[in-house]
Chain A
Amino acid sequence: AQSVAQPEDQVNVAEGNPLTVKCTYSVSGNPYLFWYVQYPNRGLQFLLKYITGDNLVKGSYGFEAEFNKSQTSFHLKKPSALVSDSALYFCAVLPDTGRRALTFGSGTRLQVQP
């Protein structure tokens, strides 16, 4: 069975500084990996995905994520954080066989201070 771990419940960063939100996964076969963001009173929104190819994936709002197969990680990054980036971030994995539905991590709350 597949699983996703987000080891940090909360990440605090000052505006303008780089940010990293960590994610590791466990899945049989080749994973499809996703990041979603949840703003207060809003539905989950897709940020970016890794399917195959270049290990560095660029997504919405200046976010990017790096796929590392040897470390089974897919950390979310942004070079310069904005206060408006403050939200709940979820990493998710979809295996290439078996259950064809996303398995989500427990989420990481990002707080960007002005």
Chain B
Amino acid sequence: GAGVSQTPSNKVTEKGKYVELRCDPISGHTALYWYRQSLGQGPEFLIYFQGTGAADDSGLPNDRFFAVRPEGSVSTLKIQRTERGDSAVYLCASSLIYGGGTGELFFGEGSRLTVL
């Protein structure tokens, strides 16, 4: 596709439920990043992938959060036993160059998660 695509754009769920958020990066981009943006805050790093493997998952807040990228393209962020504090906009970005060292990140429009 022309840009980074994220689905769903909005997700409302109840506390304790399981949620999956999907990211389809720009074709050919090997690096993929997940960020979380709470109201009034800047994006907070969660995890990034180089190809199929997670190069750095140190930003995941706890073991309820998990992300996969099995074929090196589409990625899914999975949140178990959701809590109200998980409510945020989850941003996905991709980059042609690993680590974004000299290449900018291209962001999707985000998935807004609301946990009631």
| A residues adjacent to B (C-beta < 8 A) | 4, 6, 32, 34, 36, 41-46, 49, 51, 90, 92, 94, 96, 99-107
Contact = CB atoms under 8 A, between A and B. Distances in A.
Given A96-B101, A100-B100, 20 more contacts: A6-B42, A32-B102, A36-B107, A43-B3, A43-B108, A44-B105, A46-B105, A46-B106, A49-B102, A51-B101, A90-B42, A101-B33, A101-B45, A101-B48, A102-B33, A104-B35, A104-B42, A104-B43, A106-B42, A107-B41
Contacts of B4: 43
Contacts of A43: 3-4, 91, 107-110
Interface residues of B, number: 29
B104 to A, nearest CB: 4
Contact of B56 (A92, A101, A106, A107): A101
Interface hub of A90, A94, A99, A102 (most chain B Cβ within 10 A): A102
B98 interface: yes
Nearest to B35: A104
A6 B102 CA distance: 23
Interface of B: 3-4, 33, 35, 40-45, 48, 55-56, 58-59, 91, 93, 98-102, 104-110
Contacts of B55: 100
A60 B99 CA distance: 22
A96 B101 CA distance: 8
